[in-house]
Amino acid sequence: MTGNVIYISKDNSNDPIAATKSDEIDTLCEHLEKASATQSQWREYDPGRKEWGLSVNWLVTASTDIEKLLYNGGMYTLSVVHRNGTSKTVLLTGTALCTQVKVVSSQGGLVNGSFTFKGSGPLAPPSTQ
């Protein structure tokens, strides 16, 4: 996944807040054991509740007001986007809580940092939201 496919926007805006360099999306599903050792020699599971999160590394100009860019505790709309030239197609979208903003380094006029998000609700195609 390349960095320009994750859009982070505030209040369902289509304008991205920051260009991402690299992204990592984690999706998890709890598993509930349904068989006891007396019923079977093999463990069996049922799916439980799901969750997702996103870690993003970003690059912005040093003049950007970073504390206003994203802040811990803010809710944001995240979209996974397929880009083809100037057109884009949203593949997945979801709302997430920003749990961490970290400025890693500054070089010249650019600042490198990272955001961590915890999904709130589904990460799904827009038509199923």
Q: Domains in the chain: how many in total?
A: 1
Confirm whether 45 is domain-assigned. no
92, 124 contact by CB (below 8 A): yes
Q: Does residue 102 belong to any structural domain of this protein? A: yes
Within-domain flag for 43: no
Residue 82 placed within a domain: yes
Query: Are 34 and 46 contacting, i.e. CB atoms less than 8 angstroms apart?
Result: yes
C-alpha triplet 129, 114, 107: angle, nearest 5°: 140
Residue 112 domain flag = yes
Q: Provide the residue range defining the domain that includes 99.
A: 3-23+57-128
Buried-exposed string 81-96: b where 16+ CB fall within 10 A, e elsewhere = eeeeeeeeeeebbbbb
**Tens-binned pLDDT, residue by residue, of the chain (129 aa):** 344 556 666 655 556 655 566 778 888 889 888 766 656 677 788 899 999 998 888 777 666 655 556 667 788 888 777 766 677 778 888 899 989 888 777 777 777 778 889 999 998 988 765
Stated pTM of the model: 0.71
Residue 52 lies in a domain: no
